[in-house]
């Protein structure tokens, strides 16, 4: 006799069988689809490699005109075939090749220098040689930069690259020394930082524009870097360098008083005061209110910097909601100044920012 329980169990068994069949079909279809995708990917890679080799063949063919060779690799980011990269690097060293070909060969095959010790040594020698064509020396310096940041050079050769770049930090070629100093500064190299700091202090030298030197020193603050940046803030070689110094000094607690003085200084430009507010806002926002009163009351200051100061203090207060705190006299004075601006500010944008500040208090 067929009972309900036996019928139910039989139904479950049949359903399980159907489900298993569907699952197997689905897995089979998925596997087939994956195989198709892999085949398409392989075909695409093979086609790209074939196109790359064809372009490299034209570029490496001395029988072709320089224009045709360069045109063949116009949209090629790099040469992929190992044999072709070796040939391209040989073109870099070939003084009979046009300079444009030598530069382009390095751009296409420079990535392979990390695994070719002999070629790397030769290329380093070309950079050290002042008689090497300037565009090629600059391209080599840029290639060393890419090798260093990419970590694709063997550890045993890392110091060789650094030493070579140090050797051209004061090169007569502006492009070469700029790339060398930029690369070394990004590496946190002490020798480069010292050169940049001295360059800022010496009015008779300018290895790189002052604002560039300040930006490079700011990459790794500390040591002799911070005093040099403070000197630029106090006695700037130009306005942009002073602004860069203000940005950079926010991370130095000992420089916060200097930044507050900049914010208070009604003779300072809006751009400089904005940089000082920004530096404090990123590192010590609680110090803005004490310095910003002269700024808020300065109707000659630009709207943007005054509104930025208001919003910076407002953001800090919103972040501290629920925390026990006692307002300092400076903070109370700041609140009073903003409340006055709500109706007295000449600028409608400043009035609106003040109203928003008061409303959210």
Burial class (CB in 10 A: 0-12, 13-18, 19+), 103: buried
**Closest alpha carbon to 265 in 242, 240, 238, 283:** 242
- At residue 224, the 3 state secondary structure works out as coil
| Spacing of C-alpha 72 from chain mean position | 31
Stated length of the chain:
361
Give dist(CA 33, CA 102) in Å, integer: 46
**Closest alpha carbon to 247 in 233, 268, 261:** 233
State the residue for tokens 């990390």: 114
What tokens appear for 330 in the block?
């400076």
- At residue 345, the 3 state secondary structure works out as coil
Give dist(CA 340, CA 357) in Å, integer: 12
Pure H helices in 110-238? 117-128, 134-150, 155-167, 174-186, 190-201, 210-217, 225-234
Contacts of 322 (CB under 8 A, 6+ apart): none
State the residue for tokens 């990917």: 41
Each residue's pLDDT, cut to its tens digit, for the chain (361 residues) gives 444 444 445 544 455 555 555 555 555 555 566 666 676 677 767 788 899 999 999 999 999 999 999 999 999 999 999 999 999 999 999 999 999 999 999 999 999 998 889 999 999 999 999 999 999 999 999 999 999 988 877 788 999 999 999 999 999 999 999 999 999 999 999 999 999 999 999 988 999 999 999 999 999 887 778 999 999 999 999 999 999 999 999 999 999 999 999 999 999 999 999 999 999 999 999 999 988 989 999 999 999 999 999 999 999 888 876 555 667 888 899 999 999 999 999 999 999 999 999 987 6
Give dist(CA 91, CA 105) in Å, integer: 7
Give dist(CA 139, CA 84) in Å, integer: 19
């Amino acid at each position: 006799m067929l009972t309900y329980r036996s019928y139910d169990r039989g139904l479950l068994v049949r359903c399980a069988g159907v489900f298993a069949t569907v699952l197997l079909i689905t897995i089979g279809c998925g596997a087939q689809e994956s195989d198709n995708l892999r085949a398409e990917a392989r075909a695409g890679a093979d086609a790209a490699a074939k196109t790359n080799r064809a372009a490299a063949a034209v570029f490496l063919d001395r029988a072709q005109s320089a224009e045709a060779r360069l045109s063949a690799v116009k949209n090629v980011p790099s040469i992929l075939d190992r044999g072709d990269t070796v040939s391209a690097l040989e073109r870099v060293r070939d003084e009979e090749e046009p300079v444009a070909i030598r530069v382009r060969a390095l751009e296409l095959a420079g990535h392979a220098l990390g695994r070719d010790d002999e070629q790397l040594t030769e290329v380093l020698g070309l950079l050290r040689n002042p008689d090497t064509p300037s565009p090629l020396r600059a391209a080599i310096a840029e290639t060393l930069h890419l090798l260093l940041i990419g970590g694709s050079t063997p550890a045993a050769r890392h110091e060789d690259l650094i030493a070579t770049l140090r050797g051209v930090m004061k090169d007569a070629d502006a492009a070469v020394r700029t790339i060398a100093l930029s690369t070394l500064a990004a590496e946190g190299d002490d020798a480069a930082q010292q050169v940049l700091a001295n360059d800022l202090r010496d009015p008779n030298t300018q290895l790189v524009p002052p604002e560039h030197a300040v930006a490079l020193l700011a990459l790794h603050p500390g040591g002799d870097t911070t005093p040099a940046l403070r000197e630029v803030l106090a006695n700037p070689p130009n306005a942009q360098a002073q602004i860069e110094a203000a940005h950079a000094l926010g991370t130095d607690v000992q420089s916060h008083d200097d930044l507050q003085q900049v914010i208070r200084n009604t003779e300072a430009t809006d751009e400089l005061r904005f940089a000082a507010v920004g530096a404090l806002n990123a590192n010590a926002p609680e110090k803005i209110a004490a310095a910003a009163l002269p700024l808020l009351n300065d109707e000659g200051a630009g709207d943007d910097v005054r509104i930025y100061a208001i919003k910076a203090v407002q953001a800090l207060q919103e972040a501290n909601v629920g925390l026990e705190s006692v307002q300092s006299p400076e903070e109370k004075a700041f609140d009073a100044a903003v409340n006055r601006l709500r109706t007295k500010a000449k600028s409608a944008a400043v009035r609106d920012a003040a109203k928003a500040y008061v409303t959210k208090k």
